[in-house]
Structure 1
């Protein structure tokens, strides 16, 4: 089987890419999805309280507006329904192949095509262009904690929630205090006998005011789409201004910290608990947490914050370094995902047999986060250094998708064999990115999932969303090598 475009993953990025390909008249594409349904991150994250911490109006595609969001910040069920609606309205469902787990990509220099292999003995597929849209938050795993296999109780990962488990009257331990944990804990304290929250590092917490959207507002958006576009624009520029206090350590960073401390003081009266919940790093160095429910939950009679480091898991629970064993019927690991900061999610072999995982072993890099020299016709969504610290990931992702589909269109319309970014253009781009990252909060000294163990930042984009979007407005062909198919070349010469 040979196709024009293969898309790996049927989450936000994969579905968005498929829709934009159709908009450009390209229909010879297939989406390969390892699961049995679409949704990606929002299919997997169904834990109690799961929601987005970016306003719904901004956490959606501009080319697929939804006038019917129920709240300012939507829950996971509503976001998944939005993805389903895009699939249904666009007609891309017929292009999706479920239960196709991609195991490798290999480039054929002679034909200019990629060979895609799968598990379960499925026949390989050849494609002119490949879009790796599996995303950075696709692979969840339990953390590497000593004794984790010895624990005899129930283990649940936030991204693989066990909906059959009854938390009623159970002793629950929650490991982690990041974006997932601050949504889970307020729900668990409602039913569990006890909840112990194990904190390694406190985060900066800002209030989240989640208002209901009135029916009259929804009707206005449906009848006058311009009003919805204006609302989205207002949210965009509001978040864009936050970059001045989050991306860079400026006087406005102190303002963000002051708002967070005021929020903490207003919700936590105990000075000692406030001290335990106050970070010692600049706001923005780690992901900001948006919640108005977490601090009240920690102060419930059945909830306790544990700040002693975890030494190991035991048969009955968690043992902290001071020697106390905290017994638990179930441990919830709100510890996030295996973010691909180094290496690749699948083996990728390019020109002359080069191995992208080896090249990325000390930190991933790419040209404008979407293409890598030596790997023609291969594109990444949410690739290296495309993470926003202040805005919606979908703003960045939409720019990537439009850029990628423009590049694919050029290859298709001109019958080119391949389009490969030049190594010098890639090197120049990344030198500039890494130089700019040195002045950001992310590289200011705290440990976070943004950085590799060596401190290399392969994750975040050091600038405004407008800057990121503008660099992807058009495909600058002077930064690429174009290879023409022999047949097309002969026809050109003959003409």
Structure 2
């Protein structure tokens, strides 16, 4: 078990992942004057989702003022919706400003973690064999970090180049090539319009049509930028207004899902304006209620699909051959490059790590029916483990950063308890159960239960990803831990 190196003193907190969640908590710890923490990052550099997804056209679909920390405002975003490079630069700025470089260990993928009950410590081993001990373990791995590759027969036979959009191969020139894109989710609708002008032919394989609404994006004017620089409160005001606008959309998601029918009308008009060919339009019209899957925003996706070199195929894929993709009707679509826009393994929250809690209980055993956590943060039987952006904290209508900022104070209060002589905190099973029953019950009446499959649910149909209500109610729930919810073991 032990290396020959002398045992290091246990850390206060070990954070897994250096995206917005891990960095935000580290910034909060720094603000409290603490540096008794370390961030383990599996990749060669920090940055999470915005390091990985650097495909052409990558941008956020939440407005930039809302998709940044309230305690680290940025007044000089160039656009209403920030492009990937700008968000990634913001992340690097945060690391530099809070002196986090020395607290991040890159190329350190966690392979396993187990809770040493007598010592009240998490023992963590990385893939390269390094070992760490910490009073508390924080998972900040997010929900969108493991690319999902489609299960299609013959994929390994394909003779051309292939890659996932979250592992974009910038060294492959797509000019004049025949390209196939599998998947039409949030990434595909951003990169497809970017590559269409360059390729000889693009075949887009669509399993389910998506709802794509106009994106109210534009560059900020010099006047606006100067105003926000001079009066930072104008940026805060804009952030507050955008928050309220997005939060109001929640009404249609989980209070009155019937309102979505009105939105569907405006969607159909938008589609009609952008796609004049009735056959193509029929192929692009979803057959499930708006909002049931993630709603996408783009101004150039539909126009790109009307170009002569683009073909939208909604036949199922039977197999992949050396030369291309064969659909259910037996037709072979010849391609040189295959791009997977197939999303992420979003409901396997802490996979592939092996995490063992009290009595050797394995997390994937505890979660065999689907991931669940009290307030999305604590899991019974896994003391001093805190999950950021955990089960049921994803949103369909607002900014994840707001959810993270609701979780930080809650986790920091728990960490404080551990400094005050509590050996470990374990959320009580009945408390976790009651929380999840209420949550699943609320989701049953939401738009996500209106008859479609999406990445919001696991294979058994359990909703593991989305929060069932308004974000301000989540903030209310996480304002302060109620210590009677936990077994506090000294």
Bin for the TM-score computed over the shorter chain: over 0.9
1:197-229 CA distances to partner (integer Å, 9 max, x unpaired)?
A: 101000111100211112322222222222111
Conserved? CA contact 1:396–1:468, under 8 Å: yes
Conserved? CA contact 2:142–2:349, under 8 Å: no
Shift of 1:344: 3.6
Unaligned ranges ≥5, structure 2: 1-7
Is 1:224 aligned to residue 231 of structure 2? yes
CA separation in 1, counterparts of 2:349 and 2:49? 20
1:66-145 to 2 correspondence within 5 Å? 66-122=74-130, 124-145=131-152
Counterpart selection for 1:273 from 267, 280, 285: 280
Worse-matched range after superposition: 106-115 or 396-405 = 396-405
Paired residue for 2:321? 314
1:329-340 to 2 correspondence within 5 Å? 329-340=336-347
Counterpart selection for 1:461 from 460, 463, 467: 467
Paired residue for 2:309? 302
Conserved? CA contact 2:257–2:446, under 8 Å: no
1:14-25 to 2 correspondence within 5 Å? 14-25=22-33
Counterpart selection for 2:451 from 419, 427, 445: 445
Paired residue for 1:421? 427
Shift of 1:341: 4.2
CA separation in 1, counterparts of 2:135 and 2:96? 26
1:164-212 CA distances to partner (integer Å, 9 max, x unpaired)?
A: 0000100000001111111111011110001011010001111002111
Conserved? CA contact 1:104–1:347, under 8 Å: yes
Conserved? CA contact 1:284–1:442, under 8 Å: yes
CA separation in 2, counterparts of 1:344 and 1:423? 22
CA separation in 1, counterparts of 2:255 and 2:169? 39
Conserved? CA contact 1:247–1:390, under 8 Å: no
1:89-238 to 2 correspondence within 5 Å? 89-122=97-130, 124-238=131-245
CA separation in 1, counterparts of 2:255 and 2:287? 16
Paired residue for 1:403? 410
Paired residue for 2:62? 54
SS at match of 2:156: coil
CA separation in 1, counterparts of 2:348 and 2:15? 21
Conserved? CA contact 1:264–1:274, under 8 Å: yes
Is 1:245 aligned to residue 252 of structure 2? yes
Shift of 1:274: 1.4
Conserved? CA contact 2:57–2:194, under 8 Å: yes
The alignment covers a number of residue pairs equal to: 482
SS at match of 2:167: coil
Shift of 1:126: 0.5
**TM-score, length-normalised on structure 2?**
0.96
CA separation in 1, counterparts of 2:256 and 2:163? 37
Shift of 1:342: 6.8
Conserved? CA contact 2:413–2:481, under 8 Å: yes
Worse-matched range after superposition: 398-407 or 162-171 = 398-407
1:274-333 CA distances to partner (integer Å, 9 max, x unpaired)?
A: 111111111110000100100000001111111111111111000000010000000110
Unaligned ranges ≥5, structure 1: 485-495
Paired residue for 2:486? 480
SS at match of 1:159: helix
1:7-37 CA distances to partner (integer Å, 9 max, x unpaired)?
A: 0011111100101112223320001111121
Conserved? CA contact 1:246–1:283, under 8 Å: no
**TM-score, length-normalised on structure 1?**
0.95
